[in-house]
């Protein structure tokens, strides 16, 4: 069984990466219409991903399979729809952090609402490394699985030695 880091440890990891933009800023890929993600770091216990979110892009209600996770909004603003007995919504501005256990269901999007209508950037960490995601539909207040997908990690953008 792979080592599993705590939510607090994952928050520390994403915050450390957020504090070192020189390691990843030049790797950002921004499109006007498509969300982008790149793998920054991977080891046995966790991996770290960089994501860009143009306005009006999001995921869909999903979990992260057997992985717990955390993310930090680095710039812009994201909105999270998350399940805690019922679906709830929160706005996340730059510096905001979220952690969640394996199996937690949420949706993340850049709705362009409020005063921030620019692309957003976030850093995410998963433990153990992300290998699958399940997607859900909310039908009359009940979640039903739409599909399950393996996560095929792209080539690392940053060397693990950095």
**CATH number (domain holding residue 53):** 2.60.120.10
**Distance (Å, whole) CA 8 – CA 26:** 28
Q: What is the domain extent for residue 43?
A: 7-150
Residue with tokens 């979220």: 98
Strand order through the sheet with 86-93: 57-58, 106-110, 77-84, 86-93
pLDDT score at 49: 97
Per the domain annotation, does 160 fall within a domain? no
What is the mean predicted confidence (pLDDT) over 106-110? 96
Q: Which of 31, 49, 30, 52 minimizes the C-alpha distance to 40? A: 49
Instruction: Work out the pLDDT band at 85, boundaries 50, 70, 90.
Output: confident
Contacts of 86 (CB under 8 A, 6+ apart): 141
Per the domain annotation, does 131 fall within a domain? yes
| pTM of structure | 0.92
Contact yes or no for 157/40 (Cβ under 8 A): yes
Q: How many domains does the chain have?
A: 1
**Distance (Å, whole) CA 122 – CA 37:** 9
């Amino acid at each position: 069984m792979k080592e599993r880091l705590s939510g607090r440890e994952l928050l520390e990891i994403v915050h450390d990466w957020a504090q070192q933009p020189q390691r990843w800023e030049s790797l950002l890929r921004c499109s006007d219409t498509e969300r982008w993600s790149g793998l920054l770091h991977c080891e046995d216990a966790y991996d770290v991903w960089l994501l860009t979110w143009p306005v009006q892009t999001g995921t869909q209600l999903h979990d992260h399979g057997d992985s717990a996770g955390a993310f930090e909004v680095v710039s812009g603003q994201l909105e999270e729809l998350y399940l805690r007995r019922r679906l709830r919504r929160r706005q996340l501005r730059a510096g905001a952090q979220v952690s969640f256990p394996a199996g937690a269901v949420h949706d993340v999007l850049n709705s362009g609402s409020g005063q921030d209508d620019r692309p957003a950037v976030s850093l995410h960490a998963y433990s153990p490394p992300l290998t699958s995601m399940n997607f859900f539909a909310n039908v009359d207040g009940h979640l039903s699985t739409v599909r399950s997908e393996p996560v095929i990690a792209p080539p690392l953008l940053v060397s693990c030695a950095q």
